[in-house]
Chain A
Amino acid sequence: MSLFRSIVFTAALTGVIVGVSVSAVQFAGTSQLIAKAEVYEKAGEVEPQAITTSPMVDAHVHDAGHDHEEGAWEPADGFERMAFTVAANMLTAIGYALALCGLIAMRGKPVTWREGLLWGLAGFACVMIAPMLGLPPELPGTPSAPLGDRQLWWIGTALATAAGIGLISFKRKPWAALVAIALIAAPHLIGAPAAPQGMHALAPEALEHQFVAAAVMTSLLFWALLGSLSGTLFNRFERTT
């Protein structure tokens, strides 16, 4: 089997298993909290005057909500929304598994489930832990900087952290460790794009904290499963070459 086919088969199978498992956990956790936050968000959008007194803050409250275009399609609450969440989770898992297996293959050494798990935990650090230090998982209605700025910072942070972890793992030289630490720290020294001053979240702080904890735990499960399954399956497909 060609390497590319091994990676694609591994990623597809891993993605379906991880996507379905993580969706089940999300429906009991993050999705419930998002639904609760949307109640506050909708209340904030409908009655901004009830919450604020000055026009300045009124404008902020409006900005804090989702800036959806009027009339854009969205899945109906219930089964349809859940089905799209499962599909999006599966696609995300397939995409991340393709990238992870691509990196494992570039490294060129066979992996076991346990090394796969370590690759997965590195992925968790790069795309969850590092970006969330500056941009924590947000409930709907949380004030934030412009989307483009946050996406740029997120991607830069994930790439810098990945490069740093790669250097520490594969280059056993003091200079590499120093460069790695600088790379991992740099995005946080630059700082994530901040929400404009004076804006406040529509959902209560306790809900926000619960959401961050639930999102981090779900992501840990996602990456632990993704890494160990990728390691196991990729090894198996490669051995059948």
Chain B
Amino acid sequence: MSVSATSTISTPIIANSAARILQAAMALCFGAIIVGFVGFSHIEIVHNAAHDTRHANAFPCH
């Protein structure tokens, strides 16, 4: 009885916390992709457009 009571209470909490971690991880990846695009792209046009930002942020630049 007590086992089933625990499981009914804790399952939604675990699911909720897993969903929050997943959403936070998505935001983290999304942010890394944006920073990677602006600061680390090898595409010449992207490099030229973000040139001064790359130099000022100490992103490796050529």
Contacts and interface: CB of A to CB of B under 8 A. Distances in A.
Interface of A: 2-4, 7-8, 11, 26, 30-31, 34, 66-69, 72-75, 81, 84-85, 87-89, 91-92, 94-103, 105-106, 108, 127-128, 131-132, 135-140, 144, 147, 150-151, 154-155, 214-215, 218-219
A30 B55 contact: yes
B62 A34 contact: no
A97 B30 CA distance: 10
A91 B34 contact: yes
Interface of B: 17, 19-21, 23-40, 42, 44-45, 48-62
A193 to B, nearest CB: 9
The 3 closest A-B pairs by CB, nearest first: A98-B31, A95-B34, A102-B28
A4 B42 CA distance: 30
Contacts of B42: 147
A50 B4 CA distance: 85
Given A7-B27, A99-B31, A99-B32, A88 B49 contact: yes
A88 B60 contact: no
